[in-house]
């Protein structure tokens, strides 16, 4: 058996930046409801905070899609977008999102964020670690299959001949 990492879920989301800007202007308290203090501080330091809020909102949705849930039964702040020491976006799960990830065996979630002048996009990949037997290559030609069959039969005869009666 070998340890392998497998993709268990993929999520993508797109948010219109102008819609995010308009929503933030109409509902100023929306920031506190949707985003952590750290996320708000990061976005508000930027020249165009609506871009960064839109990317983080898209990221939350993409991560939850990768976990297979969407926002159903989740709080917006169950996924927080932080930056690692190299500046890459990293999702931090808490609450129900963390519970779902653990129950699904998710050990990592990778996140990518981008934007154009109109839209913000996020993609997320949920990774699990599973034990699988190493895959054995199947013989390709009829001659290879026949040789493999004889090899298997010979091994079986050897095993039978070595058994104690």
Given a cut of 60, whether residue 69 has pLDDT beyond it is yes
Whether pTM > 0.85 for this model: the answer is no
pLDDT (0 to 100) of residue 1: 47
**Fold (CATH) for 2-132:** Ribosomal Protein L22; Chain A (3.90.470)
What is the Cα–Cα distance from 72 to 65, expressed in whole angstroms?
Answer: 10
For the chain, give the mean pLDDT. Answer: 85
Tens of pLDDT, residue by residue over 81-131, are: 999 999 999 999 999 999 999 998 898 999 999 999 999 999 999 998 764
Confidence of residue 139 (pLDDT cuts 50, 70, 90): low
Q: Between 65 and 151, where is the model more confident?
A: 65
Confidence of residue 132 (pLDDT cuts 50, 70, 90): very low
**Every domain of the chain and the residues it spans:** 2-132, 135-165
Query: Residue 72 contacts by C-beta under 8 Å, 6 or more apart in sequence?
Result: none
- Residue listed under structure tokens 């058996």: 1
Tokens of 1: 């058996």
């Amino acid at each position: 058996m070998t340890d392998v990492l497998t993709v268990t879920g993929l999520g993508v989301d797109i948010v219109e930046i102008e819609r995010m800007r308009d929503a933030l202007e109409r509902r100023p308290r929306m920031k506190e409801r949707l985003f952590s203090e750290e996320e708000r501080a990061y976005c508000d330091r930027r020249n165009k905070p609506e871009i960064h809020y839109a990317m983080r909102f898209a990221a939350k949705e993409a991560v939850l899609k990768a976990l297979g849930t969407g926002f159903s039964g989740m709080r917006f702040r169950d996924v927080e977008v932080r930056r690692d020491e190299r500046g890459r976006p990293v999702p931090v799960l808490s609450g129900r999102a963390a519970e779902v990830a653990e129950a699904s065996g998710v050990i990592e979630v990778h996140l990518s964020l981008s934007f154009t002048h109109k839209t913000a996009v996020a993609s997320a990949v949920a990774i699990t670690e599973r034990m699988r037997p190493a895959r054995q290559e199947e013989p390709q030609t009829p001659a290879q299959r026949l040789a493999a069959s004889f090899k298997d039969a010979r091994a079986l005869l050897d095993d039978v001949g070595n058994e104690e009666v």
